[in-house]
Amino acid sequence: MTIAIPATQAPRKFGIDVSKPVLYGFAAVLCVLIVLPLSWLLIYSLTDAAGHVTLGNFYRLFTESSFYDPLVTTFIIATSSAIICCAVAAPMGWLVARTDLPFSGVIRALVTASFVTPPFLGAIAWEVLAAPNSGLLNKIFRNVTGAEQDVHLFNIYSIEGIIFVISCYTFPYVFVLVANSLDRTPGELEDASSILGGGRWYTARRVTIPLVLPALLAGALVAFLQAMTLFGSPAILALPAGFHTMTTKIWSLFQYPPKPELAAAASLPLLVLTIILLRAESMILGRRGYSVVGGKYGAPRLIPLHRLRWVAFIVCLLVLMLPVFLPYAALFNAAFSPVATTFLTFQNATLHNIEFVLFELSAASLALKNTVILGGATATVGTVIAVVIAYVTARHAVAGWRALGFLATAPIAIPGIVLGVGLFLSYTRPPFVLYGTLWILLIAFVTIALPSAYQQLQAAFRTIHPELEDASRILGATRLRSLWQITAPLLRTGVIATWCFIFVGVMRELSAAIILFTSETKVISVLIYDLNESGDLGAIAVIGIGMLIITFSVVIAVNRIPGFGTVRFRT
């Protein structure tokens, strides 16, 4: 997650403005992508089943406990997750960025691993680990302490369990913001403090932490939004415990008999809250941006931890056991043991689940094909759109670039499930009957991916000074040629990174897909969700491991997810 910093250079004028049609073309596409589903949401929320204008949907939303209870639950979950994420990610980000923590690259890689792990897969793995009676950790606990059968240490089917699992897969967002911010904070400010007599810890407390605080607050907001809009984890863990969150409630309103008008009305509070919080975030980030821009930065001071180095490293590893090592081990156990929550031994190991997934599960190959096609197409289309818009806004190539930039970031305010509902309402009717095709999923995934892709590429453009293009133009190259020969090669790594980022995002996406899929357009995430509903944990484990292998292959092949263990995107 990178942050837009207000550009400082003056708008540049170009000769013949061939870009106008491009701008309007892209603006029109973006408008259709975003405005159409949101309009239908609004229309539906204000009409009853018979089509009359009414406020009754909202009245029900705020008077019936079956609606406002989930709202309160969601708020509790999101707030707690945000606090936990900050409490964990901020110290870890500081350790990695600013201290001589050993193997900080390993820590960053492990944070990347928890970032790319689909949250719903993590939730299922934690079921295997911490279901009150059959959970592996509870079994170990009872074996060690000799406790009674119904005594348990953890109960994942609880609000605490959900908060924990959501935090596991949300804290990377905070980590990246904090670590990036610390990476960028100029060393001079700390030097100044040292020269004036401040000790290392004093400097950290009085200079470094205040500088990074806005990024931390922004991280808290991002974590809050993530926790609020997740569908998979609460659906897997809250429903067995007997309560709803907003996302599962919206989804349940789509079950037979569908009540799209109530689903639309229930979507709007999420949308409004998201927009308010994002406004707050951009204000905070805007301030932070100004505070550190400018000047050549010295290398940040690394604080020696002395003997605490290894303690800190081990603590980091222990924390990262929770989103990475333990769940992966649980998936491995479930994949190869005869019953998911029986401890795997050499005697009981079985290939039954592998055989089932590879040779019997007839929906798997179609779902895999759809996922790969959608991943590739979304990544390609999303990257192209993001490159064009990032170029236009970074170079102010056409008038109205601000509006284009705003449109590209706007979808961040739309939770996946809300977008899914909106798209369903938009594209099941003429003139665009796209439901039942991969196109509707492509639209959903591109819309979801666009904001972060755009922000990443914008950051990439900022690292390339326009004087390089100018030099090429002065030497006689056309604009296209200088783009092709100068800008494109310099941007290559950024573009590839963005492509991968989107691809991985598509693998993780469940909340829009769960509303939009049909049997012919099922994707892997939906297949896993289906399998979870019928309790086929072994098959889920095999598919999940396969999914992780694909994801990690993509990540390792490129090894440049911005902000994670790479210096490419530091300014």
- The 514-543 contact track toward another protein, x by CB under 8 A, reads ----xxx---------xx-xxxxx-x----
Q: Which of 227, 340, 540, 543 binds another protein (CB under 8 A)?
A: 340
Token readout for 305 is 């931890």
Token readout for 244 is 């709803």
User: Strands 428-429, 432-433: parallel, antiparallel or unpaired by DSSP?
Assistant: antiparallel
Q: How far is the CB of 78 from another protein (least distance, A)?
A: 20
Strand partners, 121: none
DSSP notation for 112-166: HHHHHS-HHHHHHHHHHHH-TTT-HHHHHHHHHH---TT--S--SSSHHHHHHHH
- Residue 169 binds to another protein (criterion: CB under 8 A): no
Q: How far is the CB of 359 from another protein (least distance, A)?
A: 8
Stretch that binds another protein, among 27-35, 299-307, 358-366, 470-478 (CB under 8 A): 358-366
- Which residues ranging from 226 to 245 are in contact with another protein (CB under 8 A)? 238-244
CA distances from 443 to 249, 330, 392, 466 (A): 24, 35, 22, 32
Residue 37 or 260 with smaller CB distance to another protein: 260
In this structure, what DSSP letter does residue 244 have? -
Stretch that binds another protein, among 27-35, 108-116, 398-406, 431-439 (CB under 8 A): 431-439
- Number of other residues whose CB lies within 10 A of the CB of residue 243: 17
- Picking from 24, 56, 320, 374, the residue whose alpha carbon sits closest to that of residue 175 is 320
- Which residues ranging from 482 to 511 are in contact with another protein (CB under 8 A)? none
Q: How far is the CB of 34 from another protein (least distance, A)?
A: 22
Distance, in Å, from the CA atom of 172 to the CA atom of 1, rounded to the nearest integer, reads: 10
Q: Which of 90, 92, 131, 561 binds another protein (CB under 8 A)?
A: 131
Residue 70 or 219 with smaller CB distance to another protein: 70
- Residue 360 binds to another protein (criterion: CB under 8 A): yes
Strand partners, 428: 433
Do the Cβ atoms of 180 and 120 come closer than 8 Å? no
Cα 88–304–175 angle (5° rounding)? 25
- Residue 477 binds to another protein (criterion: CB under 8 A): no
- Residue 371 binds to another protein (criterion: CB under 8 A): no
Token readout for 446 is 């591109």
Quote the distance between the C-alpha of residue 27 and its chain's center.
25
- Residue 132 binds to another protein (criterion: CB under 8 A): yes
Stretch that binds another protein, among 84-92, 171-179, 253-261, 542-550 (CB under 8 A): 253-261
Look-up of token digits 């049997």: 519
- Picking from 57, 438, 442, the residue whose alpha carbon sits closest to that of residue 250 is 57
Q: How far is the CB of 48 from another protein (least distance, A)?
A: 13
Q: Which of 53, 201, 256, 295 binds another protein (CB under 8 A)?
A: 256
Q: Which of 8, 63, 255, 347 binds another protein (CB under 8 A)?
A: 255
- Residue 333 binds to another protein (criterion: CB under 8 A): no
Cis peptide before 257 (omega within 30 of 0): yes
Q: How far is the CB of 532 from another protein (least distance, A)?
A: 9
- Residue 332 binds to another protein (criterion: CB under 8 A): no
Token readout for 550 is 């694909």
Stretch that binds another protein, among 101-109, 193-201, 287-295, 513-521 (CB under 8 A): 513-521
- Which residues ranging from 395 to 424 are in contact with another protein (CB under 8 A)? none
Amino acid occupying residue 210: P
Distance, in Å, from the CA atom of 267 to the CA atom of 413, rounded to the nearest integer, reads: 12
- Residue 2 binds to another protein (criterion: CB under 8 A): no
Do the Cβ atoms of 106 and 535 come closer than 8 Å? no
- Residue 39 binds to another protein (criterion: CB under 8 A): no
- Residue 347 binds to another protein (criterion: CB under 8 A): no
Q: Which of 134, 194, 350, 463 binds another protein (CB under 8 A)?
A: 134
Residue 428 or 559 with smaller CB distance to another protein: 428
Q: What do you get for the CA distance between the two ends of the chain, in Å?
A: 14
- Three-class DSSP category at 536: coil
Token readout for 165 is 């699992």
CA distances from 393 to 293, 409, 459, 545 (A): 19, 12, 11, 40
- Residue 150 binds to another protein (criterion: CB under 8 A): yes
Q: How far is the CB of 378 from another protein (least distance, A)?
A: 22
Residue 123 or 495 with smaller CB distance to another protein: 123
- Residue 351 binds to another protein (criterion: CB under 8 A): no
Q: Which residues bind another protein (CB under 8 A)?
A: 66, 131-134, 149-150, 157, 238-244, 252, 255-258, 260, 339-341, 356, 360-363, 366, 428-429, 433, 435-436, 518-520, 530-531, 533-537, 539
